[in-house]
Structure 1
Amino acid sequence: MSRTTQPRLPLRFRLPAALAFDRRALLGLTVLLVLTIGYAVQHFWLGRPHPVAVPTISVAESATGPTQEGTRTSRPAGPPLVIDVGGKVQHPGLRTLPAGSRVADALTAAGGTLPGTDTSLLNLARPLTDGEQILVDTDTPAGGAPAAPTGPVSLNRASAEQLDSLPGVGPTLAQRILQYRLTHGPFQSVDDLRHVPGIGARKYEDLKALLTL
């Protein structure tokens, strides 16, 4: 009796064992690839340009500093001023004010003027100089002209009103004398008056006997 031969099935195609991927190695490679892609995306995101807001500075504020209630302005640095405030004010006497103060500041430091006081003869905006005297609504001759000085007038301490009372010196020339004193410092001698614009040789001869330092 002949034996029946069974047909052989075709062999499966198999890769060599050295080329087969281990499942754990494949998982590790996948995780490494994901981390690499994530790092690249993060690096790109953080490295992109960002808009930067530039703060704006007010020109007025940078020039004068912060203001108080919109009216305060900066004062030049310098030694304090000692001012003698007299006449019709609440508290006459010596007042110490910061450099750059004006006549209005001196009146405020003296407590303000008395009721009914006339300040029209005062230039409230005039800068003060150390050692000067401010007389508020004192007696003047008829017509409002300043009273003639009873003694020598100090070039370094006189106010605009006192200089204006000198013969031949009006408000304009008085302001020039004060401006010269403010710019160049105290007069070193009466002869320095000749450097003030508007003081000629003849006017100087008329004034030098009425002036002192």
Structure 2
Amino acid sequence: MDWEKVKNFIAQYKLYFVVGLVLLVLIIVIWTRKETQKDELIDFNEDKSAAFANKESLDNDENDKEQVKAAAKKQVIDKPQNVTCDISGAVKNQGVYTLKKGARLNELITAAGGLKTNAQIKNVNRALILNDQDKIRIPYKGEKITKKAIVETYSSDSAEPNSAEVASDTSVAENNKVNINTADAAQLQKLNGIGEKKAQQIISYRQENGQFKAIDELKQVSGIGDKTFAGLKDQLEI
């Protein structure tokens, strides 16, 4: 190789070599910068997407929490609140009934089939709002009313019943007389000459014929004649 010719060639085209080298360096620098910017843009878009995904996830979690709260609140609101009460006495179907919270005594009477024709309701407050575990007895006509206690209500603070001021009846009055329209077998057996069998006969007569209209009607019961009646009439009332 003729090095002299090479030197002359480089010297003749030196400017072109320099310009070309500069252009090559510029091209490399520009290309490198573009690649760097491209990588930075990709990283930025990835970070932005991740942040958006996190925000969307948080929003979804908040929405889920709100939906759970709303569902729980609706469940509490929709949950039926009831009261269960026991009713007896002068109603057609004595028993235990469950009604909606806030129900009135009149609704309980209706649920029990209504009043019997011989029910005494003069002093009964049928607008009374019922409480859970109330025990109610509707009196019969002619019963001796001595207290205001046919409605026994149980408060949440005590297991003891409280008397509600409505009306009450008693089968054994304060004068120790027995009401033959309401007395049970045990109370009837307190009468002179009345044992278990005759007490049951009195109750059966009452169930078949209704309330006694007069004290001496007791003689219509089988086994109770004038002599027996004379020995106990002073102990009776209706």
Shorter-chain TM-score above 0.5: no
TM-score by length of 1: 0.38
Structure that is richer in helix per residue: 2
Per chain length, whose mean CA-contact separation is higher, i.e. which structure has more relative contact order (CA < 8 Å, sep 6+)?
1
